[in-house]
Structures are given as C-alpha cells and as structure tokens.
Structure 1
C-alpha cells in the first residue's frame, strides 16, 4: 500500500478491525519511511451479474427493477413487504452464487414466477401477463387453467 504522504511502499499494519456488518476491514497502517499513519479499508470486490435480455441486450442486474415489477404484481394483495424483500435478497444471492457472469433473463423471470406462484396466485398471474407478454384473454384463460390444474 502506497503511503499518501511520502508515496513510500513500505508500511506495517498496526491495527485491524471489522466493521459492524463484518464485510469491511479497517486497517491502521504506519509508513516505515516517514512514520506517519493512515487508514485503509479492505472489502470483497463483487462483480455485477449481467442479464442477457430476450433481444440480446445485456444489462446489469437491478434489484430495484425487479422490486418494482414484483410490487406491481402484488399491488392490493395481502403480501408483507418483508416477504418480498427476503425473496429479493434470496434471488440476488442465488444469481451471484451461480458463479456465472451472464445469466439469461428467462432464468431470472422463471425464478420470480415460481416464487410468486408460492406466495400468491393473483400476483403470479399478474406478473406472468407482463413477463410472458399475454396478447389477449385466451392467454389469461390458458394460464389460469394451467394454474387450476396444479391445485
């Protein structure tokens, strides 16, 4: 680590502490060259997950964008925001744990639909209508029949 005062590269760590979340290490260092002290922070570099859209475009995964879609689907339904937030955290973690840098949008969409199906059938059909781009009432009826046959 380069000293911010003399630009020397020789220094020693005199104190290390984790932040309260445990995901950042604060290190106090002392420069061997000039004797001055400075602080550095160390954290894991997280590479963003890139979503490959249906048309081939690539877009960085946005938890906020997914949240907006799920909240619209769950509007006026008796679904706790905590359930939605827990799912969003779980989804983001699952996507990062795949180890893949790029994930097709259909995989993300199917994960969301599966979870909404578990949470609330109406929210599931609402989300499916946008995600699967229902063209007319027959698409709705077909999805509802499929939903009813599984129960």
Structure 2
C-alpha cells in the first residue's frame, strides 16, 4: 500500500475513474456535480491516489481555503474499504495541508462516515445538510505546528 500525490494527467484520470465509480455509479451523484473546476493539475489543489497491491483503489484531494484547507472527494472502491486505506488517504492529505502551513483542515463528511472521521480527530461543527442528495456534516480538525 502506498499513497502518492498525483503529478500527471494519466494518474488524475485514474482518480476520476475511481470517483465516478464511487460517487456517480454507486451513490448516484450527477456527473456534472462530481467533476469541477478544481479537477485540473494547475488548479492549486493536490490530488492523491492510494495503491493496494500496485492498483489505484482510492483517491482524495485537498485545496487551500483562507487559513485552512478543505479535504474533498475522498473515496475508495467498495472492495477495498475496511483495510485502513481511508486513514492513509486522510493522513497524506493532512500532511500536504500541513506543508501549506494552514491552521486547520475541514471536510464535508457523509454522515455514515462521521464516526470514522471522529476517530481521526475531526469534530462535527454543523447540523446535517444535504449535498447531492446525501446527508453530510461539516467537520474540522485543528493542526498543530510540527504535527497533528
């Protein structure tokens, strides 16, 4: 298992394929809502792929917002869930945010994953809201200088 920051268009296309499989095909998010203006290498976001036995099976991205960063589009192909890979994706995205010297990270987590994010140090800071027909909550984690 490894998590790598995406550096080329071919890897970015692999991330898109995973996101489409999870968010569009599995969860019913409209394709036009899933892919957006931050899905370019030059967008200022950092995208990552997690590999399991050499195969790309999960992805996520992070973008800087004011004094913080927002983790987004975090997903794993269904057959690779429950192997600790989600934690690895989050760790890599947080490390990238840390390198940007932001004060906190936040995300919009699906409510079924809220406990997962809480185990990683995130605090729920909103009521439940709808995003593309799926219940979400806003979650936040303060970053400490020199570590999490």
Regarding TM over 0.5, the answer is no
The structure in which a higher percent of residues are strand is 2
Q: Which is bigger in relative contact order (C-alpha 8 A, separation at least 6)? A: 2
Q: Which has the larger radius of gyration?
A: 1
Task: Output the TM-score relative to the length of structure 1.
Answer: 0.32
Considering fraction of residues, name the structure with more helix. Answer: 1
